[in-house]
Amino acid sequence: MTLTLENISKTVGGESHIDDVSMTLEPGSFNVLLGRTLAGKTTLMRIMAGLEPPSSGRILVDNVDVTGMAVQKRNVAMVYQQFINYPSMNVFDNIASPLKLQGVDKAEIEKRVRSTAELMHIEHLLDRLPQELSGGQQQRTAMARAMVKDCKLLLLDEPLVNLDYKLREELREEIPNLLAERDTIVVYATTEPMEALLLGGKCAVMHQGRVTQFGPTTQVYHNPAYVETGLIFSDPPINLVDAEVRDGAIFMKSGHQVPLTGHLSGLANGNYTLGIRANHLSVDPTGDNTIAMQGQVELAEITGSETFVHVHFNDVSWVIQEEGVHNPRLGEATSFYVDPTRLFAFDANGKLVAAPPVEISNGKAA
Amino acid sequence: MNKITNNKAWFLVLPVFFIVAISAIIPLMTVVNYSVQDIFDPQTRFFVGTEWFEQVLGDSRLHDALIRQIIYTLSVLFIEIPMGIAVALTLPRKGWGVSASMVLLALPLLIPWNVVGTIWQIFGRADIGLGGYLINLMGIDYNYAQNPMDAWVTVLVMDVWHWTSLIVLLCYAGLRSIPDAYYQAAKIDGASRWAVFRFIQLPKMQSVLVIGVLLRFMDSFMIYTEPFVLTGGGPGNATTFLSQFLTRMAVGQFDLGPAAAFSLIYFLIILLVCWVFYTVVMNAGKQGEQ
C-alpha cells in the first residue's frame, strides 16, 4: 500500500505539535524519522497509525481517505521504546495474540508464531514469561508480535533506545534485513544520525513539528537542505561559523579566509553560514589546501577508538573528531585544519546553497 | 573468603530486638504461660497441659463464632475487592477529578473504628437515623437491634463503607503505574475492553491486590469495635465474631486460661491463612512462568 499524508497538522491546547506535514510513503519502503526529542516523531507516528486524529489534513491509503478510521481497522503494528508485552502471557501467546484477535485458525497461528520467533531468534524462549527475559529478548518478542500479523504499516518508535549498546548494534543490523522482503511500509523513529545512516532507506528529518527534508537517507545526509537539518543529521552536530563572500573570497567571522574554488565557486557576494562536520576537521594537516586555525581546547571526550576535541575560538565552539586516543591539555591553544572541499554553505535564511561533492571512500566515511 | 567479620554490628540490631521483644515476643510468651496453667492467685497455680486448648476447641459457641467469622470475612472480601477494582477502573486518570476523588476516597479511611460504629449506629436507627428511616419508609422492616440479619448486614455495610476505599487506592496506584503504551498496543491489536483488563490491568495490579486481600482479610477477621459499638455482639449472638467471643471470655468472665489458649489458636489461624494465601498466589504466578 501507499501511505500519503496531506497537510497534516496537530495542535494540542493551542500548541502546535505537527505543522503541515505532507509526505508519501511508498509500498515496502523503509523510512527513518530523524529528529530530536520532542520534534514530533511520536505524534506523527500516532497519527499515521490512527491512534490520534490530526487537527487538520488527510491521510490516504492507496488514495482512499482513512483519516477518521479506527486504528483496529488499519492493519498497523507498533513497537515502542518501552518493552510492551502482555505480562501474564508467555512469549508464544504474546506473539500469537494479534492473530487470535483476528480469528486465524490454530494450526496457522502455530506455524506463523514459530516462523516469526525463529526469524527473531527467540524460538527457544516461547514458554517463558516476559519478565523472565532480558531487555533484548523482550523487545524481540514485541517486534515478533508486531511482525507476525503481516501488517501494512509497521511503526517502530525508537525501539532500541532502552537496550544496551551491544544488543542495539545486533538488532540494528538485523532489522533492515528482516523487513527487506516485505510489502510493509516501515517507519522507524530515531534521534541518532548514525542509526539513520546504518538503517538506510529513506529519511525524513523532523524539526519542531515539521518535516524539513525527505529523501534517500544518504542523499539527505550529504545535502542537508537547512542548517537545522545539518545539526540534527550529524553527531556531533555540524560545526558552524558565519562568513561573508566578497572580493572573490570567503571571509569567516573568525578572521580566516577560504578561496572561492571547487563547489564553493558559484557563491555570490553576501552573508553565509559555513558548516563542516566534525570528522572533516583534523589536528593534523590532511592535504595541501587545508586552512590552519587556532583554538583553545575546552574538552576532550575519548570514546575509545575516537577522540572528540572541543575547541573554542572567537566565540565559536567546534568539535573535532579524531581517530585514536588524543590527550590535549585543557585550556591549551591548539592548531587544527579545515578541509575547504568539505565545507557546506548555507545562505542567510539557512538554506543549503553549496554542498561538497560526495566521495565514495575517503577513509573517514559518514 | 575475605569476608570481614565485625561482631560490633550485632549492637546495631539490639534496639530492634528490644522493641520487638517488648512489643510482641514477651506478651506472646505471657499468653503462652496463661494458656497452659490454671491460675487462682500469683501463689496458687497448676499446670494443666493442653486442657484449656481441648476445652476451647470443643466449645460449640466458638464453632458458631468461627463460622460466623468466616462467612463475614469472605463476604467482606467478595464485596470489597471486586468493588474496589471496579471503582479504581472508573476513576479519572488526569485533571482536577483525580485530587477530588482521592480526597473523597481517603475520608472514610481517616475515621476511627469506634466513630464509624457510632455513625452507623445512629444512621441506621429507624427513629432518628436517616438511613434506617428511609429503609423503613420503603416498606422494609429494618431494625438492627432486634433482627439478627439486619445487624449482620449493617456491620458488613459498615466495613464496606469504611475499607473499600483502601482497595480502590491500592488498585488505582497499580493502574497508574501502567505505561500508556500498553493501552495503545492493545488498541492496535484490536483487543476488547475485557482483554485489556484481563491481560494488562489485572496482571499489573496483582502485587497490590495481594497486599489488599491480606490486609482486608486480617483486619476483617479481627473485627471488634464496630459490632461492639453497634449492638455489643447482638442481637443474640448474631454479630458475635471471634474477637467479641474472646473479649467476653477474657474480660467478661475472667477465664484467662481458656482465653489465652483461644488467643493462640486465633493467632495461628490468621497466620496460617495468610501464609497459605500468599504461597498459593506467589506459586500461581511462578507456575505460569515455567
Place B1 in a pLDDT band, splitting at 50, 70 and 90. low
> For residue range B162-180, what is the model confidence (pLDDT) as tens digits?
999 999 999 999 999 888 8
Cell of A366: 559518514
CB within 8 Å: A129 and B289: yes
CA dihedral A260, A265, A267, A269 (to 10 degrees): 40
B54, HSE (Cβ side, Cα atoms, 13 Å): 4
Residue located via cell numbers 465474631: B241
Asked if pLDDT for residue A355 goes beyond 70, the answer is: yes
Quote the minimal CA–CA distance from A89 to chain B in Å.
8
Q: Which residues fall within 8 angstroms of residue A119, CB to CB, at 6 or more apart? A: A144, A147, A178
Residue located via cell numbers 420503603: B138
Which one of A90, A97, A152 makes the best mutation probe of the B interface by having the most chain B beta carbons within 10 Å?
A97
Coil vs helix vs strand at B218 = helix
Chain B residue numbers touching A77 (CB-CB < 8 A): 188
Cell of B153: 448486614
In this complex, which of A71, A129, A131 lies closest to B187 when CB atoms are compared?
Answer: A71
Q: Which domains, from first to last, does chain B contain?
A: 10-47 (no CATH), 66-289 (1.10.3720.10)
- pLDDT higher at B165 or A1: B165
Q: At what angle do helices B130-137 and B113-123 cross, to 10 degrees?
A: 40
Are A360 and A322 in contact by the 8 Å Cβ rule? The answer is no
Asked if pLDDT for residue B203 goes beyond 70, the answer is: yes
* CATH number of this structure's domain A3-225, picked from the four choices 3.90.1150.10, 3.60.21.10, 3.40.50.300, 2.40.40.20: 3.40.50.300
Chain B residue numbers touching A71 (CB-CB < 8 A): 187-188
Which one of B178, B189, B198, B289 makes the best mutation probe of the A interface by having the most chain A beta carbons within 10 Å?
B189
In this complex, which of B179, B204, B288 lies closest to A129 when CB atoms are compared?
Answer: B288
Does B282 touch chain A if contact means CB atoms closer than 8 Å? Answer: no
Per the DSSP assignment, residues forming a β-bridge with A141 are none
Chain A residue numbers touching B189 (CB-CB < 8 A): 72, 97-98, 101
Give me the residue spans of the domains in chain A. 3-225, 236-354
Helices (H) and strands (E) in chain B, counts: 14, 2
> For residue range A227-275, what is the model confidence (pLDDT) as tens digits?
989 899 988 889 998 898 888 888 888 888 888 888 888 888 889 999 9
> For residue range A267-326, what is the model confidence (pLDDT) as tens digits?
888 899 999 998 888 888 777 778 888 888 988 888 878 889 999 888 888 999 988 888
The gap from C-alpha A239 to its chain's centroid, in whole angstroms, comes to 18
Chain A residue numbers touching B200 (CB-CB < 8 A): 86-87
Q: Across chain A, what does the average pLDDT equal?
A: 87
Question: pTM of the full predicted structure?
Answer: 0.76
Predicted complex ipTM: 0.71
pLDDT, position A364 = 41
Per the DSSP assignment, residues forming a β-bridge with A30 are A186
Q: Average pLDDT in the B85-89 region?
A: 93
Say which CATH superfamily domain A236-354 falls into: Nucleic acid-binding proteins (2.40.50.140)
Place B2 in a pLDDT band, splitting at 50, 70 and 90. low
Does B180 touch chain A if contact means CB atoms closer than 8 Å? Answer: no
